[in-house]
Structure 1
Amino acid sequence: MGRKRKGRDISGWLIIDKPAGPTSTAVVNKVRWAMNAQKAGHAGTLDPEATGVLAIALGEATKTVPYITDALKSYAFTIRLGQATNTDDAEGEVIAESDKRPDDEAIKAALGRFIGEIQQVPPQFSAVKIDGERAYKRARSGEEMDLAARPLWVEELVLTDRPDADHATLEMTCGKGGYVRSIARDLGAALGCHAHVTALRRLWSGPFDASDGLSLAQVEEMARTDRLDPYLLPLERGLADLPEVRCTPEGAARLRNGNPGMVLASDIEYGEECWASEDGKAVAVGIYKAGELHPSRVFNA
């Protein structure tokens, strides 16, 4: 028999408006401690200096993390024109400079090539694995790697502000796996002037918005009390992008045992992924086939 986890058996989402400084893992650990939760994880890493929405999943909600990770996300970021760094952000060393400063129209014209289905090469300092080792570890030792380009869906990329000739502020909505630092680097190359990120904020991620998030100071103030509990969102929020079907009582019982169960559906197509509920509570996620849900994930009541 496995050892029982310490802490409370609670499930749901706690949304944090992450400050600059801590890693995403450090924030997860802080929330897990503050909530005295048995299990916690996050849906999408933010760099230490980045701010904004970091969705923390607790308990059974961790089973819905992939659906938030795969959802669209929106970022606001400022780039420094005229300089490239080895990390593609302000934390790195300047490795190239240019006196060229494109005007607003030139920037807007260049953005079009970064919209839609694009191929993006991750930064040298990234968590991409090369032969089982993180790229940033190799980069720290001075190794320069030939990282493979990866597909990225960019829904929108717009210029929102031009504080001065050296800086531009943009907003981007994109899919899973996007590196804002790579966008800045490649935009600078396209403009012939170099660029890197100086500030980055994730505005929203799937159904979760940074404006609804708690600060770490608030979490620390209410830590280890029941005052944090009202801020816990139901795990079903993590399934917002999937269609919902409803279980029959018999179907719910079968699904909880990991077997296909009968569900009530109207607009669901054969082979479509969806989630099944009973009295508004998630029972399972799976594939709909001829009146039954074939579960891939089952939630403990």
Structure 2
Amino acid sequence: MAVYAVYKPLGATSHDVVETARRVLATKKVGHTGTLDPLATGVLVLATGSHTKLVPFLSGEDKEYLAWISFGGSTPTLDAEGPLEPAAPWRPDEAALRRALARFLELEEQVPPAYSAVKVGGVKAYEAARRGEALALEPRPVRYHQVELLALQERPEPLRIAPGAEGWRPDPRGQAVELPPELAPLPTAVVRLVVGSGTYVRAFARDLGAALGTGAFLSGLVRTRVGRVGLEQTVPAETLAQARPLAAAEVLPFPAVELDHTEVRRVLQGVPLPIPARGLVALTDRQGRLVAVAEGDGFKLKVRRVFRPED
């Protein structure tokens, strides 16, 4: 089987997309590399068959988003699910907004949203929150690599976006963005984010509002990249039977080494190869098919995961 870049539409859960992929590809072995909330859209990377063994290597990848942050109100889930809870009005101040955004580049820890899958004592935070119980969530490591203000709107409005050398950004000739129904005509910032694994954009919205002295929530979100996989590579889950799988070199965040027939046979037998590489390496055959993920110590490669061509 293989790895695919799928577009998750508005309103669908990540599990919904996985179930569609299972039906279309006629396999139960489908996994994804990072959940998207129902009110978010964009890139969802699916691994199928034996390639589900790649998920641990891909789940820690950086992710890129376009986020619509509305100020002057909040919601229990910190997104556009509602209901809206009024907060202190915010008069748009671009200079103050840019100063607040810059501080996230120095942030190392952040408290997750109350509605998240983080567990405390074996209980998921969102399950407790829906029962009206507040769990004490500890700050978790986060990393903001890039935080860029793209637009300041009078209310949350969809844009057309297109890819460029510096990520996806507004372009009147680009593809249209889906946003959830508007909760209120509140001033809204459109922000481009590049973040490390485990960073909640809803927590970013909450903390950005607090830094500006008001409430804020995520009124729209598009994930434009997961690791090396961009939005431009995605297809609807319903079309996966006709879609081109992604090659290992397009997905994996480490170098690829092409093997000859004899080397492939040795890898499938679990024999280390005398190749002077360090760190993780993708091993492919002459046809570019992934054979294994290995780890080098500078003298030889030790196989970590094997992917047989017949799988």
Q: Which residue of 2 aligns with 1:6?
A: none
Q: What TM-score results when the alignment is normalised by the length of structure 1?
A: 0.85
Q: Aligned to 2:57, what secondary structure does the other structure show?
A: helix
Which of 152, 155, 165 in structure 1 is aligned with 2:145? 155
**For residues 236 and 37 of structure 1, do their structure 2 counterparts lie closer, same or farther at Cα, with a shift above 3 Å needed?**
farther
Q: Distance in 2 between matches of 1:105 and 1:297?
A: 50
Q: Distance in 2 between matches of 1:300 and 1:179?
A: 36
Which of 276, 280, 284 in structure 1 is aligned with 2:283? 276
Q: Distance in 2 between matches of 1:235 and 1:39?
A: 18
Q: Distance in 2 between matches of 1:93 and 1:295?
A: 51
- Give yes or no for the alignment of 1:262 onto 2:270: no
5 Å-filtered alignment, 1:94-173, equals 94-95=84-85, 97-164=87-154, 166-173=187-194
Give 5+ residue unaligned stretches, structure 1: 1-10
Q: What TM-score results when the alignment is normalised by the length of structure 2?
A: 0.82
The size of the alignment, in residue pairs, is 277
Q: Which residue of 2 aligns with 1:285?
A: 293
Q: Aligned to 1:44, what secondary structure does the other structure show?
A: coil
Shift of 1:214: 1.6
5 Å-filtered alignment, 1:71-86, equals 71-86=61-76
Q: Percent identity?
A: 35
Q: Aligned to 2:202, what secondary structure does the other structure show?
A: helix
> Pairwise CA RMSD of aligned residues?
2.0
Query: Deviation string for 1:182-225 (max 9, x for gaps)?
Result: 00000000111111101111011112122221235xx1xx57xx
Q: Distance in 2 between matches of 1:116 and 1:295?
A: 37
Deviates more, 1:116-125 or 1:137-146: 116-125
5 Å-filtered alignment, 1:1-301, equals 11-95=1-85, 97-164=87-154, 166-216=187-237, 219=238, 222=239, 228-239=241-252, 241-247=253-259, 249-263=261-275, 265=276, 268-269=277-278, 272-279=279-286, 280-301=288-309
The answer to whether the 8 A contact 1:15-1:54 is kept is yes
Give 5+ residue unaligned stretches, structure 2: 155-185
Q: Aligned to 1:231, what secondary structure does the other structure show?
A: coil
The answer to whether the 8 A contact 1:61-1:238 is kept is no
**For residues 203 and 262 of structure 1, do their structure 2 counterparts lie closer, same or farther at Cα, with a shift above 3 Å needed?**
same
Query: Deviation string for 1:263-283 (max 9, x for gaps)?
Result: 3x5xx33xx222222313322
